[in-house]
Protein backbone atom coordinates (compact mmCIF):
# COMPACT_ATOMS: atom_id res chain seq x y z
CA UNK A 1 0.00 0.00 0.00
CA UNK A 2 1.31 3.48 -0.71
CA UNK A 3 0.46 6.97 0.44
CA UNK A 4 -2.01 7.51 -2.40
CA UNK A 5 -3.97 4.33 -1.60
CA UNK A 6 -4.53 5.58 1.95
CA UNK A 7 -6.99 8.10 0.52
CA UNK A 8 -8.30 10.50 3.13
CA UNK A 9 -7.45 8.24 6.11
CA UNK A 10 -3.87 9.50 6.28
CA UNK A 11 -3.14 12.95 7.65
CA UNK A 12 0.59 13.07 6.93
CA UNK A 13 3.72 11.00 6.47
CA UNK A 14 5.89 11.46 9.55
CA UNK A 15 8.83 9.20 8.65
CA UNK A 16 9.43 7.93 5.12
CA UNK A 17 10.56 4.44 4.14
CA UNK A 18 13.94 5.90 3.09
CA UNK A 19 14.44 7.55 6.51
CA UNK A 20 13.53 4.28 8.25
CA UNK A 21 15.97 2.27 6.09
CA UNK A 22 18.82 4.71 6.77
CA UNK A 23 18.16 4.77 10.51
CA UNK A 24 17.97 0.98 10.78
CA UNK A 25 21.30 0.68 8.95
CA UNK A 26 22.87 3.05 11.52
CA UNK A 27 21.36 1.18 14.47
CA UNK A 28 22.44 -2.18 13.01
CA UNK A 29 26.04 -0.95 12.68
CA UNK A 30 26.01 0.13 16.34
CA UNK A 31 24.54 -3.20 17.46
CA UNK A 32 27.09 -5.14 15.38
CA UNK A 33 29.88 -3.17 17.08
CA UNK A 34 28.48 -3.45 20.61
CA UNK A 35 27.82 -7.21 20.45
CA UNK A 36 30.92 -8.25 18.47
CA UNK A 37 31.96 -11.76 19.54
CA UNK A 38 28.72 -12.31 21.47
CA UNK A 39 25.80 -14.63 20.80
CA UNK A 40 22.99 -12.10 20.60
CA UNK A 41 19.31 -13.01 20.90
CA UNK A 42 16.94 -10.40 19.51
CA UNK A 43 13.40 -10.53 20.86
CA UNK A 44 10.61 -8.95 18.84
CA UNK A 45 7.44 -7.82 20.55
CA UNK A 46 4.49 -8.89 18.42
CA UNK A 47 2.74 -7.72 16.49
CA UNK A 48 4.00 -4.21 16.01
CA UNK A 49 7.72 -5.01 15.90
CA UNK A 50 7.49 -7.45 12.98
CA UNK A 51 8.67 -4.93 10.36
CA UNK A 52 11.46 -3.50 12.53
CA UNK A 53 12.70 -6.99 13.42
CA UNK A 54 12.67 -8.15 9.81
CA UNK A 55 14.52 -5.11 8.47
CA UNK A 56 16.89 -4.65 11.43
CA UNK A 57 17.86 -8.34 11.43
CA UNK A 58 18.70 -8.18 7.72
CA UNK A 59 20.75 -5.00 8.23
CA UNK A 60 22.91 -6.74 10.86
CA UNK A 61 26.16 -8.36 9.72
CA UNK A 62 26.46 -10.58 12.80
CA UNK A 63 24.71 -13.91 13.27
CA UNK A 64 21.85 -13.49 15.71
CA UNK A 65 19.03 -15.69 16.87
CA UNK A 66 15.48 -14.38 16.88
CA UNK A 67 12.56 -15.04 19.18
CA UNK A 68 9.17 -13.46 19.71
CA UNK A 69 6.90 -12.48 22.52
CA UNK A 70 3.33 -11.31 22.20
CA UNK A 71 1.94 -9.09 24.93
CA UNK A 72 -1.18 -7.04 25.00
CA UNK A 73 -1.57 -3.71 26.73
CA UNK A 74 -3.88 -1.88 24.35
CA UNK A 75 -7.53 -2.65 23.70
CA UNK A 76 -9.18 -1.69 20.43
CA UNK A 77 -8.52 2.00 21.11
CA UNK A 78 -5.53 4.32 21.20
CA UNK A 79 -4.69 4.42 24.94
CA UNK A 80 -2.54 2.02 26.95
CA UNK A 81 -4.52 0.18 29.60
CA UNK A 82 -1.34 -0.41 31.61
CA UNK A 83 -2.44 -4.02 32.18
CA UNK A 84 -0.07 -6.32 30.35
CA UNK A 85 -0.86 -9.93 29.45
CA UNK A 86 1.46 -12.47 27.85
CA UNK A 87 -0.25 -13.84 24.74
CA UNK A 88 2.83 -15.76 23.57
CA UNK A 89 5.95 -16.38 25.63
CA UNK A 90 9.52 -16.85 24.39
CA UNK A 91 10.56 -20.30 23.14
CA UNK A 92 14.10 -19.59 24.36
CA UNK A 93 15.54 -19.91 27.87
CA UNK A 94 17.28 -16.53 28.21
CA UNK A 95 19.27 -17.31 31.39
CA UNK A 96 22.86 -16.25 30.73
CA UNK A 97 22.02 -14.88 27.25
CA UNK A 98 22.65 -11.42 25.80
CA UNK A 99 19.16 -10.22 24.95
CA UNK A 100 18.02 -7.22 22.95
CA UNK A 101 14.31 -6.38 23.00
CA UNK A 102 13.15 -4.86 19.71
CA UNK A 103 10.08 -2.62 19.80
CA UNK A 104 8.26 -0.54 17.23
CA UNK A 105 7.23 2.18 19.69
CA UNK A 106 7.60 3.31 23.27
CA UNK A 107 4.62 5.49 24.17
CA UNK A 108 3.71 5.53 27.88
CA UNK A 109 6.53 3.03 28.45
CA UNK A 110 4.23 0.81 30.51
CA UNK A 111 4.50 -2.22 28.21
CA UNK A 112 8.28 -2.12 28.11
CA UNK A 113 8.68 -1.42 31.79
CA UNK A 114 6.64 -4.55 32.54
CA UNK A 115 8.53 -6.56 29.92
CA UNK A 116 11.93 -5.49 31.26
CA UNK A 117 11.09 -6.59 34.77
CA UNK A 118 9.60 -9.85 33.51
CA UNK A 119 12.62 -10.73 31.34
CA UNK A 120 15.25 -9.57 33.82
CA UNK A 121 13.80 -11.98 36.41
CA UNK A 122 14.83 -14.82 34.04
CA UNK A 123 18.54 -14.05 34.56
CA UNK A 124 19.86 -12.86 31.15
CA UNK A 125 23.57 -11.92 30.97
CA UNK A 126 22.46 -8.56 29.58
CA UNK A 127 19.15 -6.99 28.62
CA UNK A 128 18.84 -3.91 26.43
CA UNK A 129 16.19 -2.20 24.33
CA UNK A 130 16.05 -1.05 20.72
CA UNK A 131 13.02 0.89 19.51
CA UNK A 132 12.23 2.49 16.19
CA UNK A 133 10.02 5.19 17.73
CA UNK A 134 9.70 6.87 21.10
CA UNK A 135 7.30 9.56 22.33
CA UNK A 136 9.19 11.44 25.07
CA UNK A 137 6.17 13.62 25.95
CA UNK A 138 3.97 10.57 26.60
CA UNK A 139 6.33 8.79 29.02
CA UNK A 140 4.74 7.66 32.28
CA UNK A 141 7.82 5.73 33.39
CA UNK A 142 11.50 6.33 32.84
CA UNK A 143 13.13 3.63 30.74
CA UNK A 144 16.76 3.24 29.77
CA UNK A 145 16.72 2.70 26.00
CA UNK A 146 20.05 1.98 24.31
CA UNK A 147 19.06 2.16 20.63
CA UNK A 148 16.47 4.74 19.52
CA UNK A 149 15.40 5.38 15.95
CA UNK A 150 13.29 8.53 16.20
CA UNK A 151 11.79 10.65 18.96
CA UNK A 152 8.35 11.71 17.71
CA UNK A 153 5.60 14.08 18.90
CA UNK A 154 2.79 12.80 21.09
CA UNK A 155 0.47 11.83 18.22
CA UNK A 156 -1.11 8.48 17.39
CA UNK A 157 0.88 6.97 14.51
CA UNK A 158 0.30 4.04 12.18
CA UNK A 159 2.27 2.13 9.56
CA UNK A 160 5.43 0.03 9.49
CA UNK A 161 3.90 -2.49 11.91
CA UNK A 162 1.76 -0.05 13.87
CA UNK A 163 -2.00 -0.46 13.60
CA UNK A 164 -5.26 1.21 14.30
CA UNK A 165 -7.85 -1.55 14.93
CA UNK A 166 -5.47 -3.98 13.11
CA UNK A 167 -5.30 -1.86 9.95
CA UNK A 168 -2.41 0.08 8.38
CA UNK A 169 0.37 -2.22 9.67
CA UNK A 170 1.53 -2.86 6.10
CA UNK A 171 2.24 0.76 5.23
CA UNK A 172 5.96 1.05 4.42
CA UNK A 173 6.20 4.41 6.25
CA UNK A 174 5.05 5.89 9.57
CA UNK A 175 2.21 8.40 9.39
CA UNK A 176 -0.57 10.01 11.34
CA UNK A 177 -4.26 9.31 10.79
CA UNK A 178 -6.84 11.93 10.04
CA UNK A 179 -8.80 12.60 13.28
CA UNK A 180 -12.10 11.44 11.70
CA UNK A 181 -10.70 7.88 11.43
CA UNK A 182 -10.30 7.42 15.19
CA UNK A 183 -12.78 10.00 16.37
CA UNK A 184 -10.00 12.34 17.59
O1 LIG B 1 4.64 2.39 25.75
P2 LIG B 1 3.23 1.85 25.71
O3 LIG B 1 2.21 2.95 25.96
O4 LIG B 1 3.03 0.71 26.63
O5 LIG B 1 2.93 1.39 24.21
C6 LIG B 1 3.82 0.61 23.45
C7 LIG B 1 3.25 -0.70 23.03
O8 LIG B 1 2.07 -0.51 22.26
C9 LIG B 1 2.19 -1.22 21.03
O10 LIG B 1 1.70 -2.54 21.12
P11 LIG B 1 0.14 -2.89 21.14
O12 LIG B 1 -0.26 -3.16 22.56
O13 LIG B 1 -0.61 -1.82 20.39
O14 LIG B 1 0.08 -4.29 20.40
P15 LIG B 1 0.51 -4.68 18.90
O16 LIG B 1 2.01 -4.55 18.83
O17 LIG B 1 0.06 -6.10 18.76
O18 LIG B 1 -0.18 -3.75 17.95
C19 LIG B 1 3.68 -1.28 20.79
O20 LIG B 1 4.04 -2.34 19.94
C21 LIG B 1 4.25 -1.41 22.16
O22 LIG B 1 4.41 -2.76 22.54
N1 LIG C 1 -0.60 2.25 16.27
C2 LIG C 1 -0.10 2.73 17.41
N3 LIG C 1 0.07 1.93 18.46
C4 LIG C 1 0.59 2.48 19.57
N5 LIG C 1 0.87 1.91 20.76
C6 LIG C 1 1.39 2.87 21.54
N7 LIG C 1 1.44 4.05 20.90
C8 LIG C 1 0.96 3.82 19.67
C9 LIG C 1 0.76 4.68 18.53
O10 LIG C 1 1.05 5.89 18.49
N11 LIG C 1 0.23 4.05 17.43
Question: Does the residue 178 lie in any domain?
Answer: no
Question: Does the residue 7 lie in any domain?
Answer: no
Question: Does the residue 164 lie in any domain?
Answer: no
How do residues 65-80 score in pLDDT, each as one tens digit?
Answer: 999 999 987 554 555 6
Question: Does the residue 55 lie in any domain?
Answer: yes
pTM score above 0.90 = yes
Domain with residue 74: its CATH number is 3.40.50.2020
Nearest CA to ligand 1 atom 20: 48
Distance 73 CA to ligand 1 centre (A): 6
Domain of residue 68, residue span: 17-155
Distance 57 CA to ligand 2 centre (A): 22
Question: Does the residue 1 lie in any domain?
Answer: no
pLDDT band at 31 (very low <50, low <70, confident <90, very high): very high
Distance 105 CA to ligand 1 centre (A): 7
The closest ligand to the CA of 166 turns out to be 1
Total domain count for the chain? 1
Whether residue 109 has its Cβ less than 6 Å from ligand 1: yes
Whether residue 115 has its Cβ less than 6 Å from ligand 2: no
Question: Does the residue 69 lie in any domain?
Answer: yes
Question: Does the residue 45 lie in any domain?
Answer: yes
pLDDT, mean over the chain: 92
ipTM of the predicted assembly exceeds 0.95 = yes
The predicted pLDDT at position 3 comes to 57
Q: Name the residues annotated as catalytic.
A: 107
Distance 112 CA to ligand 2 centre (A): 13
Contacts of range 52-59, beta carbons closer than 8 Å, 24 or more positions apart: 52/24, 52/102, 52/103, 52/104, 52/130, 52/132, 52/160, 52/161, 53/102, 55/20, 55/21, 55/24, 56/24, 56/27, 56/28, 56/31, 56/102, 56/130, 59/24, 59/25, 59/27, 59/28
Whether residue 19 has its Cβ less than 6 Å from ligand 1: no
Q: pLDDT exceeding 70 applies to what percent of the chain?
A: 89
Nearest CA to ligand 2 atom 8: 156
Amino acid sequence: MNEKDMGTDLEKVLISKEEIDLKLAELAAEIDRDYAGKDLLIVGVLKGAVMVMADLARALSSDVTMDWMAVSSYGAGTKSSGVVRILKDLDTDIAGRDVLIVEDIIDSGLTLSWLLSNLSSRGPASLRVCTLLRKPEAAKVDIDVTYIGFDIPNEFVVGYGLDYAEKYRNLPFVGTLAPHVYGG
